[in-house]
Amino acid sequence: MAAATGAACSKGCSKRWREAVSGDAIVCATCPVADRAVCSALSPDDRGELARIGHHRRYARGETIVAAGDSATVCATLTRGAAKMSTIDRDGTERIVALVHPAGMLGQLFAPTATLHVTALTDSEACLFPASHVAALSDARPALARRLLDEVSRELDASRALIDLISKRQAKGRVAALILAFARAASPAPCHDADSFDLPLTRGEMAQLLGITIETVSRMLTALETAGLIARQGSHGIVIRDRAALDDLAAG
């Protein structure tokens, strides 16, 4: 049975990476995260070289971008949308361990084999490059190596923030903090948050991430709306009405 599973995984990995390297050409001039992605540390010539050997891919909501067990032969940057990184237990229980927003790296840097699943939360886009070339370029370009290290540190800080979010706040504070995190991620500028955005997670995924029930998530969203802190638009839209009050709840 183990051999059959391994063979199936190998075929799946192979198919996924064949698709990954057969997407559209990369056009840096129109990239929405050109000034924030790790490649921003490179000179125009080096970015051009990287773009020539990379490809641009689109992913539908719910599509697997990386599966645990895949060989880490591709290095990817999310340019639009949102993704989640998660583990899945033997009984099928999923645990979300990180969220990836535009300019973030998809997958696990420097790991030979993926141990986490990466799934598109919304219709998303990414630039993919051969990992071996990125590694060689980082050896030759100290600025890129430093930027990659910064990204690893940022991911670690984000993971710590998730742990803090789950362990120290009441349910309403957890939901408030998550809404503010989505507002920051939805903004194209680092100096301010978005005032309105679509939630990239379902109620179930929010509950899973925050360690509370789906019913509690729904009640907290309703309470925040009733108190005038947020307004909901349709099934996914959120408008922030009172950011200061949300900040106070998130800090509590």
pLDDT at 17 over 60: no
pLDDT at 213: 93
60 alpha-carbon distance from chain centroid: 14
Tens of pLDDT, residue by residue over 82-100, are 898 888 888 878 888 888 8
Range from 113-122, 173-182, 190-199 carrying the lowest mean pLDDT: 190-199
**Phi, psi dihedrals of residue 200, rounded to the nearest 5°:** -80, -15
Upper half-sphere CA count for residue 180 (Cβ side, 13 Å): 21
pLDDT at 191: 66
pLDDT at 7 over 60: no
Q: What is the mean pLDDT of the chain?
A: 83
> What's the predicted TM-score (pTM) here?
0.74
pLDDT greater at residue 154 or residue 239? 239
Angstrom CA distances, 229 to 111, 191, 245, 246, 249, stand at 42, 21, 7, 7, 10
